[in-house]
Amino acid sequence: MKITVVGQGYVGLPLALAAAEAGFVVFGLDSDKEKIEKLLEGKSVIEDINDENITQYLKMNRYNPTTDPKSINNSDVVLICVPTPLDSNHKPDLTALIAATTTVGQNLASGTLVIVESTIEPGTCRNLLLPLLVNESKLSKSDFELAYSPERIDPTNKDWGIKNTPKLISGLTENAVNRADAFYMKFIDITYRCTSLEVAESAKLLENSFRFINISFINELSIFFSKIGINSIEVIRAAATKPYGFMSFYPSLGAGGHCIPVDPIYLAHGAGLVGAPTEFIELADKVNRHMPEYFISRAEQMLGEIRDKAILVVGVAYKPNVSDVRESPVESLILGLRAKGAKVLWHDEFVKEWKGEKSSELSDQYQLVIIATRHSYLDLTKIGKAKVLNTSNSNT
C-alpha cells in the first residue's frame, strides 16, 4: 500500500517514518528542495528523528523523499501535514495549506483517501478544502474520500509519541472514517472516532486553547507573586499537591511554537465569523504577548539603565532542546531590548543561525544574562558572575 505525506517537517516526517515502519511504501513530499536533498542523504531535519532511522527505510525503499507530486497519483492514501501559522496581522494564514491541497487535487486519482492533519478552524475541510479538491481534480466528491485527523506531535516528548497518543478520526463519509481508522490503527494504539469533521477540527483547537489560557493565567499571576516576594514555582508545587481539580502550568517568557499561541487564534477567528465571543482567548493573547515587555522592565530594574549594556539572551527556540523558532516570544524580547539601546546578543546551539545572526558563545562578558529557553546542554557556569534573569521563574 502506497501513501504520500505532504510536508516533511515536525509532523510529516515522524508520521512518514511511522507509516514506513508499519510496512507502507511512503513518499515524503515537500517543496523544499534543500530539505529533500538532506533526507535523501539520510540526514534528519528535526530533533526527534535520528539519521539512522531515515537511512534504514531509505535502504528498504519504504521511505522515498521527493519534490515530485506525481507520487500522489499512485498513492492509496495522501496525508496533508503542512503548517497553518499566523500572518503578519496575527490572523490565520492558510497559504501553505491551500497550496498543498491544490497540488493534491491536481494529482488526485479516483478512490484515494485524503487525510488532512494540519490545524484548521471548524468548517475548513468541508467548506474550503473539499471544493478545492473537487475543482482541481475534476472529480466528483464521491470519487475520493476526505478525512480529518489533527496532528498531536509534541517535539522531544519522551513519554508521548505517535504510537501511544490517541488519534482523533473524522471524515466526510462513514467510509472515509472507516478507511482512515484502519490506516492509523496499523501504527497507532488508540483511535477515537468523532461524529463530524467539525468536531475533530474544534477538538484540536480546544486542546491548545485550554493550555494557552492557563499558561497566560499563570504568567499573569507570576508577575503578582514576584511583586509581593513569593516564588511562583513554590506556589505551583504547593497547589499541585491537591490530587484532583488542578493541573500545573509554569511561568515563561510567553507561549511559543506552532500550536499553543496559534490554535486559539484560529478558534477565535472562527467564532468571530458567527459573532460568538471569545474574551478568554483575547485576554490570554494580550497577556501572552505582554510578557516580553514585562521582562524588559525587569531587566531595567536590575541594571538601572539598559542603554549600551551588554545583554545575552540564552535560548531563542520556543521550547527546550529543539531548533524550532516559530512564534518564539524571544524575538519580541530581543527587539524590545535593542529598541531601548541595549547591546543584545543571543546564544542557542540548537538554532545556530537566526534572523541573519549567529549564536554567540556563553561567556562572562555580559552585564545581564536573560534565560529565555533553558536547553539541557547549557553550562551556565560559563557566564561567571553576570546578573541572571530567569524567565521561567520570576523571582530569579
Q: Annotated active-site positions, please?
A: 259
Report the alpha-carbon distance of residue 4 to residue 10 in Å, rounded: 16
First to last CA, the chain: 55
- Residue 320 DSSP one-character state: T
Give the Cα separation of 95 and 97 in Å (integer).
6
Distant-in-sequence, close-in-space partners of 15: CB < 8 Å, separation ≥ 6? 5, 79, 81, 117, 151, 153, 162
**Of 187, 197, 258, which Cα lies nearest the Cα of 26?**
187
Distance of CA 200 to the CA centre of its chain: 18
Residue 388 burial (CB < 10 Å; 0-12/13-18/19+)?
A: middle
Sign of the dihedral through C-alpha 273, 277, 280, 283: positive
* Cα 330 to Cα 295: distance, rounded to the nearest angstrom: 11
Place of cell 497547589: 239
Instruction: HSE, CB side, 13 Å, CA atoms: give it for residue 321.
Output: 10
Helical ranges in 107-196 per DSSP H: 124, 130-137, 174-184
Query: At 273, which amino acid appears?
Result: L
C-alpha grid cell, residue 376:
539541557
Helix, strand, coil percentages (3-state) for the chain, rounded to 5, are 40, 15, 45
Q: What values do phi and psi take at 357, rounded to 5?
A: -125, 160
Query: How many beta carbons lie within 10 A of that of residue 297, not counting itself?
Result: 12
Torsional sign, CA 5, 10, 11, 14: positive
Query: Among all chains, which residue has been given the C-alpha cell 498531536?
Result: 152
Angle between helix 12-21 and 51-59 (nearest 10)? 50
Specify the 3-state DSSP secondary structure of 321.
Answer: coil
